[in-house]
Structure 1
Amino acid sequence: MTSKSLKLILGLFFGIFFILEGNAQSAIQYDMVLQGGRVIDPETKLDAIRSVGIQNGRIAMISSEALLGKEIINVSGMVVAPGFIDLHVHGVSNLEQEYQLHDGVTTALELEWGIEHTGAWYASRQGKALIHYGASVNWPYERLRATGRYQEGVEELLNMIRANERGIASFIHVAAPSFTEDLTPEEMSQTLTHIKSSLEEGGIGIGVPIGYLPGTKPAEMYSVFEMAGQMDALVFTHNRQPNILATQEVIANAIVTGAPLHIVHINSMSLGQIDFALNMVSAAAQKGFDITTELYPYTAASTGLMMAMFDEGWQQRLGIDYGDLQLVATGERLTEETFARNRRTNQVVIMHMMQAEWIARGIAAPGVIIGSDGMQYSKLAHPRTAGTFSRILGKYVRENRVLDLNTAIEKMTLLPAKRLEGIAPMMRFKGRIQVGADADITVFDPNNIIDRATFEGGLEFSEGIEYVLVNGTFVLKNGKTVPNVFPGQGVYGKFKK
């Protein structure tokens, strides 16, 4: 047999094989098919018209041909993207999750502050969540309950927090004075033991919001980083102050101890020096250190008036004045008189303190993740609570062209998934449109997507998100919440026992 004849026979064989294989694939009936959308996978760089077959909660097929399904949704003209992953939320109930899913989010994690009673909290959400949930270990809580002279009041404090529904602000208001004190060696050891125990209950790394407790001694903070380095446990930090020295502090701690580090909302932590801060993070990463950061696409921050950042001299430190503070409860701008009155009850305010060009430069910077810092529900809560991801796609991609669509999707899906893979292994299957990946999928109209929440009008669902699937189950369909489905699952850290 000649070489030419052999090639011809092999060609015919493989041609028949692929025809039969294609026919076999086309005969499969998937649980769900998203037909004919623009499929974007940020890892493989796929950007093409494809049909996506979903089976048993996972992506089973991506094809240029039409697929059979028990339910077929025509998504032509829309973008089929991985579900958005938010590393930074504070609202963790279904009330906030509904706003999040209307913003295309399929995984929303409380990693800056964390959750007390980690294991019990995870158990309380099981089978009840609209989208995936998870949290870091709450360092302030673990530290407080390790401090013998305060131990009797810890649970009473937590009950107070739950009763007035102010969460973080109430904790800080009551507990902050104790954080200026030195821990005994035994208390420091017990704090680290408590952190380790909560990691073993599933916590995703360690939440270190030192910015709310800036009186914490540097040596104590270093000990937490040291433990994180020894365990390879990711630290999520709100820096001590909104300045470059505080950024240098956490980067130095991470480099010396080997702790993986994620700096939250670097826009509000660096203000006009955002380029300097981003350059430091980038330089550290290029030198092989496991350091990342995030930001949200708004020019205002939000917190309680009793926080340390409003101690004397705050106007000079933040570059703002009373009229730049907006009361969440009423929407009014403050004066010196109303500032003092509302500070006594630790009211939450929106702080108009950043410039648009700082935010745009941060969004465009390579490797910077998008995270919302979404607040607990209030009608006039910061609009990032409801609109962060749609704002990126509508304002910064379509309108202002600060970055392209594929890069934006990468910053909202693949980059956060990869940031967590080392601490939460199940994230390897999220943030991607690939065969074998979890069917956490967001489908949106790139021509219409935009945020609708505003500082003046309050929270509103975003526009242009048409379908959201979590584990292959619709939680949003034709732009409307699907009632009585709760497919969200807990995302656990690697230390869970």
Structure 2
Amino acid sequence: MYSLLIKNVKIVDGTGNPWFYADLAMKGEKIVRIGSVKEEESEKTIDAKSFVVCPGFIDQHSHADLVLASAQQLKCLEGRIRQGITTEMLGNCGISVAPISQESKDLMKAFTEWMAPGDLPWDWESMADYFSLLEQKGVPINVGTLTGHGAVRAIAMGFRSGRPSSGELEVMKKHLADTLEQGSFGMSMGLIYAPGMYADTRELIEMAKVVKEYDGLVTSHVRGSSETNLFAERELIRIGEESGCRVHRSHNEAVGREHWDKIEKSLQMEEEARKRGIDIAYDMFPYPAAMTMMVAIYPPWALEGGWSQFVKRVEHPETRRQMEEDVEEMVPGWPTWKEGSWPHNIVRATGWENIYIGYIPSEKNKKYEGLNLREVGEKVSKSPFDAISDLLIEEQGAISQLIFGVSGDKGTDVPLRQLITHRLGGFVTDAIDIGTGIPHPAAYGTYPRILGKYVREEKLLSLEEAVRKMTSFPANRLELKGRGLIREGFFADLVIIDEEKIIDRATYEKPRQFPEGIEYVIVNGEILLEKGRLHPIRPGRVLRRGK
């Protein structure tokens, strides 16, 4: 007897091959038969005539690390589940919440508060500890993690700039190897963020060699998406070439209109690298705006030493003026890890008017959510720099930002389209909802946006190709076993959609709007979402590399 049967359904299996009609039978957490199956052979049947079933969507770039550890887990993940995500990868942009030490905990906590739904105890240290916590709580969808380069660097060096000593590098390598032994899928780098921005290319190559030993993946939020975009692309290719490791560019983008033309060249560089045997690809989100921590607008020297040192500098009048001058005038150059340099000046690339406050903790200051930094300055009769600096101190750094002008704007999405259609790209959210503030609409709409706007309405790519980029593509990049395809013997992570209705409804003004057209979400053979009803169950698994 089968536990669940999907009858009369159009199957898009994740390979990119043409769809076909069949019945789909499950026993427990696995798909066991694709073909013709009688209803009486199953305990439960879904008649999916006129619908499409495809593998559950795999979000390769999530920042829900602290959401999953919180009491608000299911509430904050609802937008992700309702858009069809059944598996997500944590630990991106060099920012994983494990491993940590007693010494690095406060440093990492200060730079991740914008990702946290309320105060958390941070009562773990190793990756194994963090996995145990998630397994004790249960998870509604499958989750795995990368190891943040920034996290292991903070253990060895704190937020100090410069090269690690040979001893410090060995400490970093050991902690990375430990996490890979414990099930991490690889290493992420966040090279516009402290402390990752202080690492030179040689350090990153040495760390990538450790990942290569475990056949993991190295992903990178590269050093720059504006002036240094192509230098940063070249650096990632070099890391892959000299380490022998598979490499992956996270949320490929170009920030600021004058840099959008760099996207085409970066894609050419990846194609040329693959011809030389370097395994490189990328992912992207289908929106002309990005979300990150607000402290990312400051130059590297301002953030050295961590949050407490930043506060001292920004409270010193002369140092504050130097910061403001750098933020408004400094042009990024290469190499970016040397003293006095800067990989990616967001304000210079986009302007104060294109940087908006997404989340701010205190009720007193929530009135600034949704305003750009120029508007915030006008409200308090200060320069945008002084206004946001004062707010950051008051809120202890826990402010997020939305940046517009990323690979497009309201007038054109041509650069986005290049990224959407290229064969080496997959789709991700790069977004979280912590239950308050203004999240990026990608947290609610990424995959329905692709399937509704770019597949059905604009026919930019086929349904089969879009589904491949959401399923088997990330599964192959991460080497997830038994997921990403509809095949007998694979895990039953499935999404049933109405291809005529599927569309995103989340906007920048009203981001917490669920998409239409997602009929069912099935995780490991259990129905998590059923005709609009979210069941309060946790059928997900904590995934470990190689298992």
TM-score (norm 1): 0.82
Per the alignment, do residues 46 and 402 of structure 1 end up closer, same or farther by CA in structure 2, a change over 3 Å counting?
closer
Distance 2:9 2:520 in 1: 12
**How far apart are residue 184 of structure 1 and its match?**
1.4
Count of residue pairs brought into register by the alignment: 432
Q: Which has the higher helix share?
A: 1
**How far apart are residue 222 of structure 1 and its match?**
2.6
Which secondary structure state, in structure 1, belongs to the residue aligned with residue 253 of structure 2?
helix
- Specify the code of the residue in structure 1 equivalent to 2:187: I
Q: Which moved more, 1:42-51 or 1:354-363?
A: 42-51
Counterpart selection for 2:231 from 241, 245, 254: 245
Counterpart selection for 1:279 from 263, 268, 271: 268
Which secondary structure state, in structure 1, belongs to the residue aligned with residue 514 of structure 2?
coil
Gaps of 5+ in 1: 1-28, 151-174, 422-426
Counterpart of 2:117 in structure 1 is none
The question of whether the paired residues in 1 share the 8 Å contact of 2:16 and 2:464 is answered with no
Q: Spell out the pairing of 1:343-358 with structure 2 (5 A cutoff).
A: 343-344=389-390, 345=392, 346=397, 347-354=399-406, 355=408, 356-358=413-415
Is 1:229 aligned to residue 209 of structure 2? no
Counterpart of 1:448 in structure 2 is 501
Distance 1:96 1:136 in 2: 21
The question of whether the paired residues in 2 share the 8 Å contact of 1:475 and 1:482 is answered with yes
Counterpart of 2:295 in structure 1 is 306
Deviation sequence 1:370-415 (CA, Å, 0-9, x none): 1111224234111111211111101111112111100000000011
**How far apart are residue 111 of structure 1 and its match?**
4.0
**How far apart are residue 126 of structure 1 and its match?**
1.1
Counterpart of 1:435 in structure 2 is 488
Is 1:420 aligned to residue 472 of structure 2? no
Is 1:105 aligned to residue 163 of structure 2? no
Deviation sequence 1:3-26 (CA, Å, 0-9, x none): xxxxxxxxxxxxxxxxxxxxxxxx
The question of whether the paired residues in 1 share the 8 Å contact of 2:16 and 2:467 is answered with no
Is 1:124 aligned to residue 110 of structure 2? no
Per the alignment, do residues 42 and 231 of structure 1 end up closer, same or farther by CA in structure 2, a change over 3 Å counting?
closer
Distance 2:481 2:210 in 1: 25
Counterpart of 2:418 in structure 1 is 361
Is 1:262 aligned to residue 248 of structure 2? yes
Counterpart selection for 2:544 from 488, 492, 495: 492
TM-score (norm 2): 0.75
Per the alignment, do residues 389 and 196 of structure 1 end up closer, same or farther by CA in structure 2, a change over 3 Å counting?
same
Distance 2:432 2:527 in 1: 25
Q: Which moved more, 1:56-65 or 1:43-52?
A: 43-52
Q: Which has the larger radius of gyration?
A: 1
Q: Which moved more, 1:215-224 or 1:55-64?
A: 215-224
Distance 1:306 1:78 in 2: 45
The question of whether the paired residues in 2 share the 8 Å contact of 1:114 and 1:206 is answered with no
Which secondary structure state, in structure 2, belongs to the residue aligned with residue 115 of structure 1?
coil
Deviation sequence 1:301-328 (CA, Å, 0-9, x none): 1122211566625797553211111111
Distance 2:184 2:254 in 1: 26
The question of whether the paired residues in 1 share the 8 Å contact of 2:10 and 2:21 is answered with yes
Distance 1:314 1:203 in 2: 40
Q: Which moved more, 1:462-471 or 1:216-225?
A: 216-225
Counterpart selection for 2:386 from 340, 344, 352: 340
- Specify the code of the residue in structure 1 equivalent to 2:517: G
Per the alignment, do residues 107 and 314 of structure 1 end up closer, same or farther by CA in structure 2, a change over 3 Å counting?
farther
Which secondary structure state, in structure 1, belongs to the residue aligned with residue 90 of structure 2?
strand
Distance 1:73 1:140 in 2: 46
Which secondary structure state, in structure 2, belongs to the residue aligned with residue 143 of structure 1?
helix
**How far apart are residue 273 of structure 1 and its match?**
1.1
Same amino acid, percent of matched pairs: 26
Gaps of 5+ in 2: 99-125, 300-325, 332-344, 360-368, 378-382
Per the alignment, do residues 328 and 314 of structure 1 end up closer, same or farther by CA in structure 2, a change over 3 Å counting?
farther
Deviation sequence 1:230-261 (CA, Å, 0-9, x none): 44331111101111101111111211221111
**How far apart are residue 138 of structure 1 and its match?**
2.0
- Specify the code of the residue in structure 1 equivalent to 2:471: T
Q: Which moved more, 1:89-98 or 1:485-494?
A: 89-98
Q: Cα RMSD between the aligned structures? A: 2.1
Distance 1:56 1:320 in 2: 50
